[in-house]
Amino acid sequence: MRWRVLIAFALIACAAFAALLWYNHRVKGEVQSQLYIPKRARITPEIELLRQYIRIDTTNPPGRELAGAQFLDGILKKNGIRAEIIESAPGRASIYARIRGRTPGEGLLLLHHIDVVPAPPQGWTRPPFAADIAFNQLWGRGSLDMKGIAIPQLEAFIDVARSGRTPERDIILLGVADEETGGKLGMQWLLEHRPDLFDGIRYVLNEGGITETRQERLTYFGVEIGTKMLVKVRLRAPTRERMQQVRIALEPFITPPDPDRVLPEVREFFHDIAPHRIQQRQYLEDVTRTIAADKFWLLERGYKELMQNVVWPGRVDSDRRGATMEVALFNLPDQDPDARIAWLRDVVSAHGATIEEVLAKNGPAPLTSLHTPLFHLIEREVHREYGDVTVGPEILAGWANDSRFLRAKGITCYGVWPFPVDFFQSQGIHGIDERVRLDWFMQGVRLMRRLVQSYAFEMLPARH
């Protein structure tokens, strides 16, 4: 009898273990494939436009943005809108169109980049440039970053033109080349060679925002107000051993133990995001108090980096003249980049290394204020579309976008993701299986249309 009980118990345990393995396999498959099946798909003209745009391969490198610019130009022409295609190099094209308003100096720029990062097909559930639709989602490179934002901007711009009314202020549409590799043939080139494009622009809507969801409900709508500034240099040392010493000397600055400064906007960001962070809430609500209590070390790395100048040393490479290493400095937004280069030079010179070349240098570009008429419009329209959701700031610690060049010129820039994107979808950005959920995408189209219409035609408070 006892043996029968033991055998029965063993069989139950095996069955339970098998069920657990099956469940874990299923959950892992869902997470890895990023498949969640919401409502039935409804294909709208806006979704069809996005499909067409994704199918144009504008991978950078090598770029090939001209085909994307020509696609947008054709849509604008069909709607009676004149646009200009501007080539910074053969095939490297941006597109520009402007609707003139009554009030000078109050223009709103709708900005997106035409290029996308490479998408090798290995590992993708569906081909990255096929724009397939399955499970109420549109799959393809650029569906999130950032052709999926470009189409709502395009539709909003066309709405203003179709209205037949002269807007109170200019509305500008600009699709640029080369954002994904630094903007030298895109935004930086345009600012140098075509500064007239930016005359009279007060505000910019670009990428960089975030959305957080819980059980298919939007909980936090983050508006990007700035990024860390990047300086990238190549170091030279006489031997590989010397460069290894340099790398070891820089390692303490990868995760500095103390904050450099707490910018007011960073403090506001932490306070706004705190209610949505269970584990970190007590430290984020009042970060000044957290630091005073010697609890800075308890903050997660991403939060700490927003208060630190961070160093990212790269790989050490050898050649006939010794060794080289590229180093990235992620600086606070208002930091003088030349002062940071001088600091790095002092650190590495103690080990016999020099700065061979400055590869990139951005900043300073102060963070954008939340206390503007446009931000209040964003907040109002988000609440109209998504209900009682927290609308607050977002600051990027590990990557940047073209807004950094415009903020340095004194232009107010906001990053807005107009539609919800959940965590699993966000993993497709610069990765495999990038895709956008169709019903959420259409919410973003509605939001962007109302937001741009409001800015174009409503009477707003005077400039502060």
Q: What is the dihedral of CA 347, 352, 356, 360, to 10 degrees?
A: -20
Asked whether residue 17 is domain-assigned, the answer is no
Name the domain boundary from 361, 383, 404.
Answer: 361
Domain identity same for 73 and 183:
yes
Asked whether residue 35 is domain-assigned, the answer is no
Domain identity same for 67 and 200:
yes
Query: What pLDDT, in 10s, does the model give residues 128-168?
Result: 999 999 999 999 999 999 999 999 999 999 999 999 999 99
Domain identity same for 70 and 158:
yes
Q: Cα 21 vs. chain centroid, distance in angstroms? A: 37
Query: What pLDDT, in 10s, does the model give residues 404-431?
Result: 999 999 999 999 999 999 999 999 999 9
Asked whether residue 248 is domain-assigned, the answer is yes
Domain identity same for 99 and 239:
no
Instruction: Provide the CATH number for the domain around residue 287.
Output: 3.30.70
Domain identity same for 234 and 298:
yes
Domain span at residue 347 reads 229-361
Name the domain boundary from 361, 388, 407.
Answer: 361
Domain identity same for 282 and 349:
yes
Burial class (CB in 10 A: 0-12, 13-18, 19+), 107: buried
Whole-angstrom Cα distance, residue 316 to residue 240?
Answer: 7
Asked whether residue 354 is domain-assigned, the answer is yes
Place of tokens 């640029």: 176
Instruction: Provide the CATH number for the domain around residue 424.
Output: 3.40.630.10
Domain identity same for 200 and 254:
no
Domain identity same for 53 and 202:
yes
Domain identity same for 105 and 166:
yes
The number of distinct structural domains making up the chain is: 2
Asked whether residue 395 is domain-assigned, the answer is no
Query: What pLDDT, in 10s, does the model give residues 189-205?
Result: 999 999 999 999 999 99
pLDDT grade, residue 311 (50/70/90)? very high
Per the CB < 8 A criterion, the answer to whether 442 and 47 are in contact is yes
